[in-house]
Structure 1
């Protein structure tokens, strides 16, 4: 087992693509254990993807890409600008609110961050925001999509841990809104301190009629996560069927409501979805080899005994696990962390009487935050690359936002009712 972990670390260090890191290190364990038939290796690759629930992932990815091409983003941006025009750091506040609204559309923090830096980055430059601050707000606010449904991370967690995806979707709403509030407060404090976009008397607050007019054009996007949750709750469709519904809904809105979905935009969304799905499915397929090797080597049991030996306090245990996930998130892709660590941590959590839905929301927040931290964070390099910003500037400006999110997660750990209230009410 130590050889498997050593090979994993070596391949990570030499910067091999993560899917092949998992596949090669897992295969190495099979090759060194002559008592395991090699046919099992191939079977685990195939078996890992043979899940009806997993069909939700490609469907939701395709739906998110379609919605980004239909004009929904443009309407949500207009609503966000209206709501924040009297706030300090108005355009930075737009960044946070847009991420909250887009959380119910894209389901992907990386996609959200990449889209927003292209849309809002040039305007924030024009208004005098430092590039590092712009990148930090864009990256960290996209973390809201980790909990606002339909989060792809929650789908993977529910798929691997056999936890109700419907409950996870509902549980993420309140934490997502709290995160929006926490980040808006952070933007307000930093903007006041540094004099970003100080509101003037000639700027009037948004009137009720203005908000109502904007809501009329944005209502199709705002209804989407609500329809998904109610549809799953009342049995109109399963999570997988909800993904297929999301694609049909995106096509309907793009063609008949906003009338902006052209054949060229459809092809662009389809190509992007194929690329995104290819990368995710390759990781998931190869994780079957690695997960089987960990299980065969009795790693989950060993880890459970070690962790339980540290403390028996449930909150302290969760904080230890989340600290470990934060460190691994800095080094390994978030989807990989979900696939590999959920089977290890979830039995420990359930053994301590912690609701797996509550733990899933906390875990997704911390794991997704890994894509926003160097040295491996994909969202960091995408945003900084597009915005021509140095990693050093990004790290310096992001510290207040990281602190705000960590405070929110600690609150969630000690007040689990914030995540369990809605699922218990609806389910």
Structure 2
């Protein structure tokens, strides 16, 4: 296992794409094994591609692009702007709310952060917000998408860890809302201290608020319909992904009248690019996943972690600390696919609900995308705003601290995560 890990991290360090780093490390295992023929590795790649639950991933990725092309993003921005732009740090607060709203559409933190950097970034800089603060707010608030349905990471976690995706979707709602509120408070305190005042401090009238909400109704309804269609037994998670594509097309053509053939082709092109990247990582991870199981890595890691700790919460905290450190260097999708088979058996063996752990794990590994030195969301936002990484690193600390504190609260108060799944399921 040390050989596989060494090859994987060396390839990542020299800049190889994550899918190739995983694939080559997997092939190294089979080429150096005296027991396992290389043909088994090829079979594992094919097996990973033949999963019905995994169909939810490409469907939801396509849904996000179709909804962005159908005018939903513009309407959500208008609603968020009306709702919170009057507060201290108005545009930064809009970023927080928009992240929560877009979490039910895009399902991807990186895509959401890049979108907000294009829409909100120039306006924030024009209003006098520092580049570091603007980039930090936009990047870290995309963390809200990690748990709100249809989070792609939760689908992958549920698939690899054999955990109910419907329960994960339901469990992510309260943590997502709490993350939104916590980041709003942090943003408010910083903005108040720096005198980042809204251009218009007038509270919106009820008419303005509900008018903006009505314009965004199809986007606001989407996550609600998604969750309850799964709970009601109307669709499986995979089928609801296909239904979401139809929903996005219907909204774009018949409700907003903004979708046309050119926009559909563009959405498909972007979706194919994203899906190809994600699926290649998933396919290559099949070999590593097999190697992890064959070499009994979960049992070995379990022995190390459980050797000196008996309290379940402390065990989970130790795992989360490991995930946070690894998240500084490894992309979240890779971590979910490679580490879920290792850690889920451990937490289950000590009595921790895998749904509870999944929400904590996805929050922490997604947070890695907003942190130096290799955060994907961080690089996307900083490049779009022309912000130096060191300026970003200084400004992002309060937001990262807020996220970590909330994760600890959710760890020690599991009912906040498990209340809705237990109630509904």
- Which residue of 1 is the match for residue 406 of structure 2? 408
- Which residue of 2 is the match for residue 144 of structure 1? 144
Over residues 48-105 of structure 1, what are the superposed CA-to-partner deviations in whole Å (9 max), with x where a residue is unaligned? Answer: 1211100000000000011011111111111111111321000000000000000000
- Which residue of 1 is the match for residue 342 of structure 2? 344
Tell me the TM-score normalized by structure 1. 0.98
The answer to whether the 8 A contact 1:88-1:199 is kept is no
CA drift of 1:199 comes to 6.8
Counterpart among 278, 294, 317 of residue 280 in structure 1 = 278
Whole-angstrom distance in 2 between the partners of 1:38 and 1:78 = 55
- Larger mean CA deviation between 91-100 and 366-375 belongs to 366-375
Over residues 24-49 of structure 1, what are the superposed CA-to-partner deviations in whole Å (9 max), with x where a residue is unaligned? Answer: 11111111112211210100111112
CA drift of 1:2 comes to 1.9
- Which residue of 2 is the match for residue 213 of structure 1? 211
Summarize the alignment of residues 226-305 of structure 1 with structure 2, pairs less than 5 Å apart: 226-305=224-303
In structure 1, the gaps of 5 or more residues are: none
The answer to whether the 8 A contact 1:322-1:363 is kept is yes
Summarize the alignment of residues 17-416 of structure 1 with structure 2, pairs less than 5 Å apart: 17-197=17-197, 203-416=201-414
Counterpart secondary structure, 1:105: coil
Counterpart secondary structure, 1:248: helix
Tell me the TM-score normalized by structure 2. 0.99
Whole-angstrom distance in 2 between the partners of 1:108 and 1:6 = 29
Number of paired residues? 425
Whole-angstrom distance in 1 between the partners of 2:404 and 2:274 = 29
Over residues 141-163 of structure 1, what are the superposed CA-to-partner deviations in whole Å (9 max), with x where a residue is unaligned? Answer: 00000001100000000001111
In structure 2, the gaps of 5 or more residues are: none
The answer to whether the 8 A contact 2:66-2:264 is kept is yes
The answer to whether the 8 A contact 2:31-2:37 is kept is no
State the 4+ residue runs in structure 1 displaced beyond 4 angstroms: none
The answer to whether the 8 A contact 2:85-2:198 is kept is no
Counterpart secondary structure, 1:215: helix
CA drift of 1:328 comes to 0.9
Whole-angstrom distance in 2 between the partners of 1:102 and 1:45 = 33
Whole-angstrom distance in 2 between the partners of 1:198 and 1:37 = 64
The answer to whether the 8 A contact 1:322-1:366 is kept is yes
CA drift of 1:198 comes to 5.2
CA drift of 1:6 comes to 1.6
Over residues 191-229 of structure 1, what are the superposed CA-to-partner deviations in whole Å (9 max), with x where a residue is unaligned? Answer: 0111101576xx421121111111111110000000011
The answer to whether the 8 A contact 1:65-1:272 is kept is yes
